[in-house]
Amino acid sequence: MYFLFSLKGGAFMITYKKDSKDNLLSPDSSMPVLAMCYDFDKTLTPDDMQAQGFIQSVGYNEEQIKQFWHESNQLAKKHDMDNNLAYMYKMIQEAVGHFYVTKDKLMEYGNQVELYEGVRTWFERICQYGLEQGVKIEHYIISSGLKEMIEGTEMAKEGAFTKIYASAFMFDDKGVAVWPAQAINYTNKTQFLFRIQKGILDINDTGVNDYIKPENQRVPFRNMIYIGDSDTDIPCMSLVNANGGHSIGVYDPFKKDKEKVYKMMRHHRIRYYAPADYSNGSKLDTLVKQIIRKTAAYEVLEGEYIHCKYEAEE
């Protein structure tokens, strides 16, 4: 169904409402949606989340953290195993004799994760700015890290994220991790962009494979921003870029090592790069606000195009 609404001068837009907890399919808001998708490790936080408390607590000192990852990667290589499944297995094995790996325990470690400057207030600020421009902002995490740790962060507890897609454990009736529930790697990350595009967020909903006309897509790729830091984000960045969206590479503002973002820029993986500083007025903040304003203006024209198209076909 199509609705006429006013957005900085007026336009026709397709709008949607939730039809279930994890699906956003049919009419709700009169604003276009801009989906902001983030990697987590070294994008929102300076280091791997597991290396900020968990690895140390199972007997590795600061100098041995690389050893943990080396052993995990060797395990994956030996068994022809996904690297993410390997690190999840190793976490459970290394915790034996120290503590039970429970969801609450993982959330505690997540609450200890250091965040880049401005991250703590970023999500609310950007949502508010979007509303002022007539754009609804939704934040999504797409990470190979652990969902339970991300859920332990204060912003996740406050409901900053529309959905968190990340590796996760299955827990037994005592709350102890016994098996991987999800393993997210750099190639299967892209499926979640299609879920966001169609508004089908439930990972078990096969409706993501259904054809949806471009004008009926809840979040077309042009209305997506993907923010990441490294090669593991390249499939998502390339997909968003190739379809008119905005991929942004970030780098540590203290180390100032731009080699990865330079490489991604040269290979057309990203459109922009900036320091991972999320504070108000930073380069990243300014860039994202420019994209929000562009989205608001473009969707007015797109809405008018859709109106003309359907009127001509009647």
pLDDT of residue 28: 47
- Cα separations in angstroms, 227 against 137, 240, 288: 14, 11, 10
200 and 70 in a single domain? The answer is: no
Q: Is the pLDDT of residue 10 over 70?
A: no
Lowest average pLDDT, out of 152-161, 192-201, 205-214, 261-270, goes to 205-214
| For range 185-213, the mean pLDDT | 94
Instruction: Spell out the residues 6+ positions from residue 240 whose beta carbon is closer than 8 angstroms to its own.
Output: 37, 193, 221, 224, 225, 226, 246, 247
Question: Does residue 53 lie in a domain region?
Answer: yes
247 and 300 co-located in one domain:
yes
Average pLDDT of span 265-280: 97
**Percent of the chain predicted with pLDDT > 90:** 82
**130 located within any domain:** yes
Residue 8 has pLDDT above 70, yes or no: no
Same domain for 6 and 153, yes or no, is: yes
Tell me the C-alpha distance between 46 and 25, whole Å. 36
Residue 23 confidence (pLDDT): 58
Tokens of 45: 């936080």
Do 74 and 173 fall into the same domain? no
CA nearest to 142, candidates 67, 92, 192:
192
> Among the three residues 100, 121, 141, which one is the final residue of a domain in this structure?
100
Residue 16 confidence (pLDDT)? 41
In a domain, 251, yes or no: yes
Q: How many CB atoms lie within 10 A of CB 146?
A: 29
Residue 314 confidence (pLDDT) above 90: no
Give 217 or 17, the one with higher predicted confidence: 217
24 has a pLDDT exceeding 60 = no
Number of structural domains the chain divides into: 2
- The predicted pLDDT at position 13 comes to 42
In percent, how much of the chain has pLDDT > 70?
91
Query: In angstroms, what CA-CA distances link 294 with 97, 226, 305?
Result: 55, 16, 17
In the listed set 100, 127, 142, which residue is the last one of a domain according to the structure? Answer: 100
**DSSP conformation class of 223:** G
**Claim to verify: residue 41 and residue 60 sit in the same structural domain:** no
What is residue 15's three-state secondary structure? coil
Return phi, psi of residue 202, to 5°.
-65, 120
Rounded CA separation 60/200 (Å): 41
Cα four-point dihedral sign 97, 100, 106, 112: negative
Inside any domain, residue 86: yes
pLDDT of residue 203: 94
Instruction: Give 251's strand partners.
Output: 275
**In a shared domain, residues 252 and 168:** yes
Is 27 domain-assigned? yes
| Contacts of 261-264 spanning 24+ positions with Cβ under 8 A | 264/234, 264/237
Are 12 and 124 part of one and the same domain?
A: yes
What pLDDT does residue 22 have? 63
Q: Are residues 172 and 66 in the same domain?
A: no
Residues 135 and 245 in one domain: yes
Angle between helix 65-78 and 83-95 (nearest 10): 120
Model pLDDT, residue 303: 81
Looking at per-residue pLDDT, the higher value among 41 and 26 belongs to: 41
User: Looking at residues 98-111, what average pLDDT do you find?
Assistant: 98
Q: Which domain holds residue 31?
A: 2-47+113-313
Do 192 and 292 share a structural domain?
yes
pLDDT of 29 reads 54
Q: Which of 227, 271, 32 is nearest to 139 (CA)?
A: 227
Are 211 and 301 contained in the same domain? yes
pLDDT value of position 304: 85
Regarding whether 123 and 90 lie in a shared domain, the answer is: no
Q: Is residue 108 in some structural domain?
A: no
Q: Confirm whether 18 is domain-assigned.
A: yes
Tell me what the mean pLDDT of segment 69-81 comes to. 98
As given in the structure block, the two tokens for residue 76 are: 């994956």
In a domain, 105, yes or no: no
